[in-house]
Amino acid sequence: MKLGELAKRLGAELRGDAELEVTGVKGIEEAGPTEITFVANPKYAGLARTTKAAAVLVEPEFPEIKAATLRIKNPYHAFSRTLGFFYQPPAYAPGIHATAVIDPTAIIGEGAHIGAYVVIGPRVRLGDHATLLPHVVLYPGVQAGSHFFAHAHAVVRENCILGDHVTLENGAIIGADGFGYVPVGDSVQKVPQVGIVEIEDDVEIGANTTIDRAKTGVTSIGARTKIDNLVQIAHNVVIGEYSIIVAQVGISGSAQLGKGVIIGGQAGLVGHIRIGDHAMVAAGSGVTKDIAPGQVVAGTPHRPHREWLKMEACLSNLPEMRETLAALQRRLEAIEKKTEKKEPL
């Protein structure tokens, strides 16, 4: 694609040779002389001067550099769109593979691609343009909206409900039994997990992530929320809209997250707490109590991020503090002796 054409398609201002042919898209350190790259983070602005890329997507006020520039408000978004111009994911033509086992009571919308060895149970209802890759299993009564995309080995358990444009990466398990037992004598008995999982529109669920069905009622994932790999979401959790849950996070039963919440990787949340809208939890934190809207927390147990920073700084000083404390004690004793001696006089 010519640089001029790309600028036009993106709505960007081009400074450079409109006739230059670009053939692909790469990161700023990897891009070669026929590739396009981007700078969104000022931290990497220096690299724009030395990049071998043909052209760099930058913000409108970015200084002139040797490479051509395409100037646009959200360069990372433009980069993302450019990726879409150059690369196409594998296409899956409509059609149902001969080996798919589909219950006669299931209803499948138009334009579906159903891959090899897919199993679709009784009363399943899928909207138009579903793509189910090999070995996907939909248990009885599953409902999904349009453009449902399930990668190989994803599973949706009985009666769970998915909105439009839901994507499951490989091995994601939606609606397995919640972990509920009641102590009876020297053992425990399973509490039937009779609820479902409900996932709203435009949600993506990462590889091998598990979202448990509710004990009663619904485990709920809000629209446009994105969940990374190997995340555990327990029964009756509620997550609001456009939240971000990074890999290996664990959210315990009945926790309620607002909208626009960001949970960093490997963080853990205890059950029955409320996390306010737009709260942020740092990676690796252990959240033990409610978090107010907009708050940023870190640590285990979690603290406001600023408080945590102060505490962390002190921790490094702890050995020194201990020495200072011992020295003060000695000096104080010395003075005490002196003043005692004088006292009786």
Site for a copy of itself in 275-294 (CB under 8 A): 283-284, 286
Residue 338 in contact with a copy of itself, rule: CB under 8 A: yes
Q: Tell which positions 226-255 bind a copy of itself, by CB under 8 A.
A: 226, 228-230, 232, 234, 236, 242, 244, 246-248, 250, 252
Segment contacting a copy of itself by CB under 8 A, of 11-19, 51-59, 61-69, 309-317: 309-317
CB of 64 to a copy of itself, least distance (A): 25
Query: Which contacts (CB < 8 Å, 24+ apart) does range 198-201 have?
Result: 198/160, 198/161, 198/162, 199/160, 199/161, 199/162, 199/163, 199/166, 199/174, 200/163, 200/224, 200/225, 200/241, 201/145, 201/163, 201/164, 201/165, 201/166
**What x/- string results for residues 53 through 92 when contact with a copy of itself is judged by CB under 8 A?**
---------------------x-xx-xx--xx-xx-xx--
Determine whether 293 is exposed, middle or buried from the number of CB atoms within 10 Å of its CB (0-12, 13-18, 19+).
middle
Does position 50 interact with a copy of itself (CB under 8 A)? The reply is no
Site for a copy of itself in 90-109 (CB under 8 A): 90, 97, 99, 101
Task: Give the integer Cα–Cα distance in Å for 235 and 39.
Answer: 41
Which H helix or E strand runs over 317? helix 305-342
Q: Does 155 interact with a copy of itself (rule: CB under 8 A)?
A: yes
- Distance between CA 157 and CA 204 in Å, rounded? 17
328 interacts with a copy of itself by CB under 8 A: yes
Q: Quick one: 110 or 301, whose CB is closer to a copy of itself?
A: 301
Q: Are 82 and 57 in contact (CB under 8 A)?
A: yes
3 state SS of 48: helix
Using the minimum distance from each CB to a copy of itself, give the nearer residue, 71 or 308.
308
Which is closer to a copy of itself, CB of 128 or CB of 208? 208
Binding residue for a copy of itself, selected from 265, 293, 296, 305, defined by CB under 8 A:
265
Beta-bridge partners for 58: 71
Find the binding residues for a copy of itself in span 113-142 (CB under 8 A): 115-117, 119, 121, 133-135, 137, 139-141
Shortest Å distance, C-beta 95 to a copy of itself: 14
Active site residue 272: no
CA dihedral sign, ordered 289, 214, 100, 124: negative
Per CB under 8 A, does 216 bind a copy of itself? yes
**Total number of residues that touch a copy of itself (CB under 8 A):** 113
Strand extents, DSSP E, 24-72: 24-25, 35-38, 55-58, 68-71
Catalytic option among 129, 235, 278, 302? 235
Which is nearer to a copy of itself, 49 or 337 (by Cβ)? 337
Let me know: does 152 contact 134? Beta carbons within 8 Å.
yes
- Sign, Cα dihedral of 12, 16, 19, 22: negative
By CB under 8 A, residue 162 contacts a copy of itself: no
> Which residues are catalytic, by number?
235
